[in-house]
Amino acid sequence: MREFDYRRADDVSGAVALLGADPDARYLGGGTNLVDLMKTGVERPARLVDVRTLPLDRIEPAGDGGLRVGATVTNSDLAAHPGIRHRYPALTQAVLAGASGQLRNMATVGGNLLQRTRCGYFTDVTKPCNKRAPGSGCPAVQGEHHNHAVLGASEHCVAVHPSDMGVALTAFDAVVSYESADGPGELPLADFYLPVGDTPHRETALPPGALITGVTLPPAPVAARSRYRKVRERASYAFAIGSVAAALDVSGGVVRDVRLAFGAVASRPWRAGIAERVLTGAPATAEYFAAAADAELAAARPLPDNGYKVTLMRNLVVAVLSELAEEAAR
């Protein structure tokens, strides 16, 4: 870890000014990912701008039943917030499914969206990785990839985004607010992450030097009946090998509204828009849930050792939507 300058920002515009256009400067939030990456040499910043104490730690009403979550709200506070638990229970479940109690106390909403993949090639500077060292290659395609992407990947990178929280936010059409040198801006989460293509090192559409200031959850009555299910290789304190955030509104046995997003299958939280379209207006039965999952997963391009994820995601969709449908029928 190289020596670095450290500044604490007093306000949002001050933070953006402190970072400036310096490509070697980074914002420091909870530090749970950045400090780790600095220890492994993946990140070698020359300056840290500490934004943890900025007044962005509130969760407030937004619009007609929506909520605005400040960027420095910790994962713990987000998960415990009564409004989130009441209106978007899958978001609380997703946050609680991630990391550990200690890490959730530290990690912030803004940082969660910007966390880097846990691909073992990316986090090991002795190995090639196009995301970390563009042009060095992607050893995962021929090497270890049983927990890599089946959707939206490219030959240049098959890493998955590690966030649980982001999967639920994606399902609920969250919008990211940021501040840049050019002033404030907004990005729907749907447009926040860039396609992998041949530039896996370029991960988000944020302007250079921009600071995430918050995330807005639009009103979504369907989210009141929602659920997050995560499968991992131990029962807790592990990243997903597949996860589903789902919300379902059923009336008269027919799907009126549905939200569906997948985790650990792509370089970004994956909104299952095809499946949602198949399901909307369809009977709320396991057969239709499976057909919808199949429609979404038709685009899957598994590698030799991660094809199980297609089965897993299909089964998870059917299981979670069936549970929600049963609840609705009760």
Report 256-295 residues binding another protein (CB under 8 A): 286, 290
The piece of 27-35, 151-159, 188-196, 257-265 that touches another protein (CB under 8 A) is: 27-35
Enumerate residues 103-142 that contact another protein by CB under 8 A.
103, 105-106, 118, 120-121, 123-124, 126-127, 139, 142
| Least Å from the CB of residue 153 to another protein | 17
- Nearest Cα neighbor of 44 from 17, 15, 4 is 4
Partners of residue 187 on adjacent β-strands: 176
Q: Would you say 3 or 64 has its CB closer to another protein?
A: 3
- Judged by CB under 8 A, the residue of 14, 35, 134, 198 near another protein is 35
Helix (H, G, I), strand (E, B) or coil at 216: strand
Enumerate residues 149-188 that contact another protein by CB under 8 A.
none
- Judged by CB under 8 A, the residue of 13, 14, 43, 50 near another protein is 50
- Judged by CB under 8 A, the residue of 32, 112, 130, 213 near another protein is 32
| 2 contacts another protein (rule: CB under 8 A) | yes
Enumerate residues 84-103 that contact another protein by CB under 8 A.
85-86, 89, 92-93, 96-97, 99-103
> From the CA atom positions of the chain, what is the Rg in Å?
19
| 308 contacts another protein (rule: CB under 8 A) | yes
Q: Would you say 132 or 175 has its CB closer to another protein?
A: 132
Is the CB of residue 119 less than 8 Å from the CB of residue 148? yes
| Least Å from the CB of residue 17 to another protein | 12
Maximum separation of any 2 CA atoms in the chain, in Å: 63
The piece of 6-14, 60-68, 191-199, 249-257 that touches another protein (CB under 8 A) is: 6-14
Cα separation, 295 vs 275, whole angstroms: 6
**Per-position DSSP letters for 126-169, written without gaps between them:** TS--TTTSTTS--TTTTS--TTS-SSS-BTTB------SHHHHH
| Least Å from the CB of residue 13 to another protein | 17
Q: Would you say 118 or 201 has its CB closer to another protein?
A: 118
Write a three-state SS string for 87-138. Answer: HCHHHHHHHHHCCCHHHHHHCEHHHHHHCCCCCCCCCCCCCCCCCCCCCCCC
| 146 contacts another protein (rule: CB under 8 A) | yes
| 46 contacts another protein (rule: CB under 8 A) | yes
- Judged by CB under 8 A, the residue of 134, 143, 218, 219 near another protein is 143
Q: Would you say 185 or 323 has its CB closer to another protein?
A: 323
Q: Would you say 146 or 202 has its CB closer to another protein?
A: 146
Cα dist. 86→25, 65, 82, 92, 224 in Å?
Answer: 38, 11, 6, 9, 7
> Which residue matches tokens 């992998």?
196
Cα dist. 176→61, 187, 205, 206, 215 in Å?
Answer: 15, 5, 11, 10, 5
Q: Would you say 124 or 198 has its CB closer to another protein?
A: 124
Cα separation, 151 vs 266, whole angstroms: 5
| Least Å from the CB of residue 272 to another protein | 17
